[in-house]
Amino acid sequence: MSDEAAAFVPGHVTGFFSAHPDEDPSVAGSRGAGIALSHGVNVRVGRGDDVRNDTDTDTGGPDVTLNGEPIDVAPVAAVLDDLDAADARVVAETPLPLGAGFGVSGAMALGAAYAANAAYDRHRSENELVELAHAAEVEAGTGLGDVVAQARGGLPIRLEPGAPGHGRLDGIPASPRVEYVSFGSVSTEEVLSGDTRALTAAGERALSDLRAEPTTDRLVELSRRFAREADLLTDRVDDAVEAVRAEGGDAAMAMLGDTVFAFGDDLSAAGYDPEVCSVHPTGATLRPPDVSRFER
Amino acid sequence: MSDEAAAFVPGHVTGFFSAHPDEDPSVAGSRGAGIALSHGVNVRVGRGDDVRNDTDTDTGGPDVTLNGEPIDVAPVAAVLDDLDAADARVVAETPLPLGAGFGVSGAMALGAAYAANAAYDRHRSENELVELAHAAEVEAGTGLGDVVAQARGGLPIRLEPGAPGHGRLDGIPASPRVEYVSFGSVSTEEVLSGDTRALTAAGERALSDLRAEPTTDRLVELSRRFAREADLLTDRVDDAVEAVRAEGGDAAMAMLGDTVFAFGDDLSAAGYDPEVCSVHPTGATLRPPDVSRFER
C-alpha cells in the first residue's frame, strides 16, 4: 500500500446535451456528445500529513490546490468524504481554464476519487468511483455529464443519463486533432438551474441526428446548430464560428464556456491562435506507481 | 476520406470466466475478469487494391496476413462481410502468440472492424463495431469475452455477458506491470464446446469474490483458484505457479492458453525470463491518420 497516488483525467468538452434531472444523483445526468481531450487534469492525493502543499488552509475542509492555489471544489470535498479520506491533501494541475467548459471540476472529483481510493486502499471498483464523482458533481450543480464522459475517454456519446449501472455510452470511432480558443466563463449552475426545456429538445434532436451518422464532421455541425437553437451562443464564439466557416471549416461552442472548438486546423486556418491537443482515447487512469511519486 | 486506416487493439488475458451461451451471439458471452495488455495487435486495412501484401491469395476470402503470413481468421472475414468490405486487405502485426490465451483473434476482428469502418467510411459507432466483432467471435467459437474487454481496456470485470447494450463492464482501478510466459496453446473451441457447468460455477464464485474486493492481488489469487477448480491447469503453468509462490509471489493461468501471468516482477523473481508489458488503460483505438500511413 502506498500513502500517495496520482490519476490523470482528460478534459471534456460537451458539444450538445439535454438535461435529465432526478432526485437520485446517480440517475440524474445528461444525454449528449463531446470530446475527451489530451489536455486534462493531474490529481495527486496524499494521506494526512504525507504531502505538503505550499499553502496553509484553516478551513477545516480538505486541503486542495489547483495549479498551486488553494481552491474549494465542492465535488472533491464530497468524494473525499465518501471515501473516508477527508484529511487528504489534493494537488491538481492542469493547463485548462476553470469554468470555461472543459470539465475541470468533474476531472478533479474523478481524479481525487481514483487517487484517494489507491492512497487509502479503499478497494472500490472503477464504476463505484465514477458513480461517487458523478453524484458529487450533480449534487454540486457543476455538471451533469462530464464525469461519465471523462471516465470513458474518446469521443463519448451519452445515450442514457446517469452513473454506471444507469447511464449508457457509445462513441465516435475517430482520433482527430483538436483546436480550441477560450474567451472566458459561462456559469453552468445558472444555465442548469433555469428553464432547460428548449435546450433539452434541441439536445435530443442533435443526439438523434448524431446516432444516425456518428462522425466528427456531424458532431461539430450538430453542436454548432445546438448552441444557436438553445440560445447559448456567445458573441465571441459566434464571431469565431463565422470566421471558421468563411474559410470552409466548421466550429462550435463548448458547453458551457465562452469557448470555441474545432477539429483539424479549422481555427488556425481562420487566423486564430488556438490551443492544440488531440482526442484522449483513454478514460480516467490511475498513474503507475513510478509516475505517481510526488516531486517534493 | 482515406482509403486506408489502422487500429490498435490491446491483447487480453482472461483470469477466470463463466460461459453464457445464447442463440443470439450479441447476447451470448462470458462473465469474468482479466487484463488488457500493452502488447496488442496493430491492424491496418486498405480498400481493394490500395494495399499490397507480399502474398497472393486465391481463396476468394479477404486477404489477411498476421506477422507477414497469410491466415484465415473466421471472425475477421465475418466482420469485413458485415461492413461490406470483403475486398479489404488486412495486415495484422503482433508480438503475442496465437492460440495462447491473449485474445489475438478477437483483437484482429475488432481492429479490422475499426479500421475497415474508417477506410470504407461506413459511419458505424464504436458500440456497433464492438457488437460486430463480438458476435463474429462468438459465432466462430474462438472466444466469448475478449472483444468487449479489449474494447474497454484496463483491468476489465465482465459483470454481464454480451455485446454493448447487453453486457455490462466494470474495472479494477490499477496500473500494474505485467509479466507472462507462454508455453503453448490450449484449444478454446474444445473447452467451450464441452461441458462448461463446473467451470461456470467456479467462475461465478470468483467473480462474486472479486467484486467484494476489486484489487490486482485478488484477481491473481482468484484466477489461480479458478484454473484448479475448473480443472484447466496445465502441468507447466502449475509448475510455474508453484515456483512463484515459493518466492512469496503469486501467478495464474491465462484462459485459454498454456500461459502463466503475474503482476510486478513475480515471474522474474522466481527465475523465469518473462515477457514484460503493462496494463493498457485504453480500449481499441483508431490510429490518428498520420500514424496509420502504410509503410510500403
Residue A247: CA count within 13 A, CB half-sphere:
17
A228 vs A243: CA distance, rounded Å: 16
Q: Hey, of A35, A110, A127, A215, which one would you mutate to test binding to chain B, going by the most B CBs within 10 A of its CB?
A: A127
User: For residues A278-294, b (16+ Cβ closer than 10 Å) or e, as one string?
Assistant: ebbbbbbbbbebeebeb
- Rounded CA-CA distance A79/A9 in Å is 15
Question: How far apart (Å, rounded) are the C-alpha atoms in residues A147 and A138?
Answer: 10
Asked, as a colleague might, if the bond just before B80 is cis with ω within 30 of 0, I would say no
Q: Three-class SS of residue A118?
A: helix
Q: State how far the Cα of B237 lies from the Cα of B253, in Å rounded to an integer.
A: 6
Q: How many CB pairs (< 8 A) connect A and B?
A: 84
Q: How far is A162 from chain B (nearest CA, A)?
A: 15
Domain extents in chain A: 4-14+30-159+282-292, 177-278
Q: Looking at residues A208-212, what average pLDDT do you find?
A: 98
Whether A11 has a pLDDT exceeding 70, the answer reads: yes
Mutate to test the interface with A, among B114, B127, B168 (most CBs of A within 10 A): B127
Region B226-244: mean pLDDT is 95
Residue A50 has pLDDT above 80, yes or no: no
Among B46, B20, B27, B34, smallest CA distance to B220 is for B34
Choose the closest CB to A175 out of B165, B177, B285.
Answer: B285
pLDDT for position B195: 81
* Banded pLDDT at A60 (limits 50, 70, 90): low
Calculate Rg over the CA atoms of chain A.
18
Give B44-88 as a DSSP string.
EEE-GGGS--SS---SSS-EEEETTEE---HHHHHHHHHTT-TT-
Note the maximum CA span of chain B. 57
Cβ-defined contact of A283 to B281 (cutoff 8 Å): yes
- Residue-wise DSSP of B96-138: SPTTSSS-HHHHHHHHHHHHHHHHTT----HHHHHHHHHHHHH
**Which residue has cell 470511432?**
A173
Q: Is A217 helix (H, G, I), strand (E, B) or coil?
A: helix
Residue-wise pLDDT for B109-155, tens only, equals: 999 999 999 999 999 999 999 999 999 999 998 889 999 999 999 99
Which member of B157, B164, B281 has the closest CB to residue A282?
Answer: B281
Write the Ramachandran bin of A168: left for phi over 0, alpha for psi from -120 to 50, otherwise beta.
Answer: beta
CA proximity to B112, closest of B46, B163, B55, B57: B46
What residues of chain A lie within 8 A of the CB of B8, using their CB?
Answer: none
Are B114 and A157 inside 8 Å of each other by CB? no
Partners of A129 in the β-ladder: none
Residue of A35, A38, A125, A132 to mutate, interface with B, max B Cβ within 10 Å: A125
Grid cell of A273 as nine digits: 491562435
- CB–CB of A271/A262 below 8 Å? no
User: What count of other Cβ atoms lies within 10 Å of the Cβ of residue A78?
Assistant: 21
CATH number of B1-290: 3.30.230.120
Q: Is B281 on the interface with A (CB under 8 A)?
A: yes
CATH of domain A4-14+30-159+282-292: 3.30.230.10
Q: What is the dihedral of CA B65, B71, B74, B80, to 10 degrees?
A: 20
pLDDT at position B52 over 60:
no
pLDDT in tens, A227-242: 999 999 999 999 999 9
- Give the start-end residues of each E strand in chain B: 4-20, 29-46, 63-66, 69-70, 89-93, 156-160, 168-171, 177-185, 252-253, 257-263, 275-278, 285-286
Q: Does domain A177-278 have CATH number 2.40.50.100?
A: no
Type of residue found at B87: D
Task: From A148, A189, A216, select the one nearest A10 (Cα to Cα).
Answer: A148
Report the C-alpha dihedral over residues A292, A78, A169, A160, rounded to 10 degrees: 180
Flag whether residue B264 sits within 8 Å of chain A, measured between CB atoms: no
Distance from CA of B126 to the nearest CA of A (A): 5
Q: Is the ipTM of this complex over 0.85?
A: yes
Give me the mean pLDDT over the A144-161 stretch: 97
Element (H, E) at A36: strand A29-46
pLDDT mean across residues, chain B = 92
**What is the full DSSP assignment across A166-210?**
TBEEEE-----EEEEEEEEE--HHHHHHS--HHHHHHHHHHHHHH
Band (B206; pLDDT cuts 50, 70, 90): very high
Q: What is the chain A residue with the closest CA to B129?
A: A173
Q: Residue B252 — very low, low, confident or very high, per pLDDT cuts 50/70/90?
A: very high
Tell me if B126 and A172 make a contact (CB, 8 A cut-off).
yes
| CA pair distance B47, B32, nearest whole angstrom | 36
Contacts A164 to B, Cβ<8 Å: 170
For residue A113, what is the nearest residue in chain B, using CA coordinates?
A: B173
